[in-house]
Amino acid sequence: MNLSFQEKSLWVVFLGLIAASGWYCYTVSESIVPTELAVDVMPDQVALFIAAVVLLIIVQIVGHIAIAVGDRRSEMDERDRLIGLKGTRNGAFVLATGAFFALSAAMMTKGNFVSSHVLLGFWVLAQLTETGSQLFLYRRGR
Amino acid sequence: MRKGEALISNKIRALRFQHDEMTQQMLADRVGVTRQTVNAIEGNKYSPSLEVAFRIARVFCVPLEQVFQYAGSGDPCA
C-alpha cells in the first residue's frame, strides 16, 4: 500500500489517540471503586489526563519524525483539502452530539466526573471519526 | 449508469505514455498536486477542479476534451 505523507500522518494521529485515550480510560476505570459512582474528578485523574496528553504529543512527534525521515513531505493539494473538510464535518457532528450529552449529564448527575468524561469521550470519538473518515476517503479516492 | 460510477472519464494514462512514458510523479509535479491525486484522477475515483483539469491538459498540449470526457446522459445540444 502506497501512502502519501498526509495519510501516514493521519495514521499516526489515529493510532496515537487510541493509545493515549485507551491508556487513560483503562487507568481511570481501574481507580474507580465499583460500588459507588465517582462524583468529582480527582486530582490524580487530572494528573493522569495530563500524562495522557503528554503521551499523545510524544507519540505524534516521534511518529511524524519517523514519517519525515522516510518520506518527502508534499504540499496539500485540492483533494487533501476536500478530504480534510469532509473529515472535519463528520467529526463536528459527533462533537456536537457529545456537547449535548455532556450538558445533559451535567444537569442530571452530581459533580463533574460524569459530564467531563462524557465530553472527553465524545471529543476523542470526534477526533477518531475525523481522522478515520479521512483515512477511508483517501482509500476510496475522494 | 450505476450509482457511484464516475461520469467523467479520462485518457491521462494513454497521454502519459505518449509523452515519453511520463510517470505519475512527473505529471503531479508539473500540475502541482500529489502523485496519489494523479492516481485517483486516472482511476476515475476523483474528479479534479476545472483549474487542475486545464493544467493537466496544458501539460500534454491538448484541448481539455481530449483529456476528459463526460459520460452523462441527455445532451441538451442534440
Mind giving me the DSSP string for A15-34?
A: HHHHHHHHHHHHHHHHHS-T
The whole domain housing A44 covers 5-140
pLDDT in tens, B65-77: 999 998 777 667 7
pLDDT in tens, A79-129: 999 999 999 999 999 999 999 999 999 999 888 888 999 999 999 999 999
For A101, the grid coordinates are: 450529552
Q: How confident is the model at residue A57 (pLDDT cuts 50, 70, 90)?
A: very high
ipTM of the complex: 0.81
Contact A79 B45 (CB under 8 A): no
Q: What is the mean pLDDT of residues B16-44?
A: 93
- At residue A82, the pLDDT reads 95
Which of B36, B41, B46 would best serve as a mutation to test chain A binding (most A beta carbons within 10 A)? B36
- At residue A73, the pLDDT reads 64
Q: Which residues of A23-53 are buried (b: 16+ CB within 10 A; e: fewer)?
A: ebbeebeeeeeeeeebeebeeebeebbeebe
Which of A9, A73, A79 would best serve as a mutation to test chain B binding (most B beta carbons within 10 A)? A79
Contact B40 A80 (CB under 8 A): no
Q: Are A134 and A84 in contact (CB under 8 A)?
A: yes
Reply yes or no on whether the pLDDT at B36 is more than 70: yes
What percent of chain B stands above pLDDT 70?
87
Q: Are B42 and B49 in contact (CB under 8 A)?
A: no
pLDDT in tens, A2-18: 788 889 999 999 999 99
| Mean confidence (pLDDT) of chain B | 88
Q: Which domains does chain B have, with CATH numbers?
A: 8-70 (1.10.260.40)
What percent of chain A stands above pLDDT 90?
56
For A12, the grid coordinates are: 499516526
Residue B68 three-state SS: strand
Reply yes or no on whether the pLDDT at B25 is more than 70: yes
Q: Please list, in sequence order, all residues whose beta carbon lies within 8 angstroms of the beta carbon of residue A77, skipping any fewer than 6 positions away.
A: B32, B33, B34, B37
Q: Are A92 and A48 in contact (CB under 8 A)?
A: no
d(CA B38, CA B56): 10
d(CA A6, CA A26): 30
- At residue A36, the pLDDT reads 60
- At residue B31, the pLDDT reads 95
Q: How confident is the model at residue B1 (pLDDT cuts 50, 70, 90)?
A: very low
- At residue B61, the pLDDT reads 95
d(CA A126, CA A19): 15
Total domain count, chain A: 1
pLDDT in tens, A28-54: 888 776 556 668 888 888 888 999 999
